[in-house]
Amino acid sequence: MKKLTLLLAALFFLNACKKESETNSISDPNSKEVSLVQEVTKLKNDKGEEVSVTYFAEGGVVAVKIQKTGDKEQKLSAKTTNAKGNPIFTNEEVMWEMTQDGKAGKLTDKAGNSSEYK
């Protein structure tokens, strides 16, 4: 019985010492990798104002770039979700609440003025 226990312990020890096979981190140039940046979506509100919205991956989270016509582009990070589970993106200036699975949204400025874009 001691020999069997000793043999099993040696087997586990040898198995633990095996070198892990290294995977090559160079990706195949022919692969069809999906982009982590979605195409720009142009949305309008009731007043005819237009906003460009681009969703993209930033590390392990989703972020969004928002640019109203005539204004500078702003990058917003996902902070929380609304009651329907859609993300809410914010920075120091504005808040973007995604609606209709990214096909619309509500933009709110620092003063609390909001506008629905579709």
Q: What is the mean pLDDT of residues 64-92?
A: 92
Closest CA to 57 of 36, 32, 28, 31: 36
Tell me, yes or no, whether 105 lies in a domain. Answer: yes
Range of the domain at 56: 41-117
**Sheet arrangement for strand 61-68:** 41-44, 50-58, 61-68, 74-81, 87-90, 94-99, 104-109, 114-117
Tell me, yes or no, whether 74 lies in a domain. Answer: yes
Tell me, yes or no, whether 50 lies in a domain. Answer: yes
| pLDDT value of residue 33 | 47
What are residue 79's phi and psi, to 5 degrees? -115, -35
The model's pTM is: 0.67
Q: What is the mean pLDDT of residues 82-89?
A: 90
Tell me, yes or no, whether 31 lies in a domain. Answer: no
| pLDDT value of residue 19 | 58
- pLDDT single digits (tens) 90-116: 999 999 999 887 789 999 999 999 999
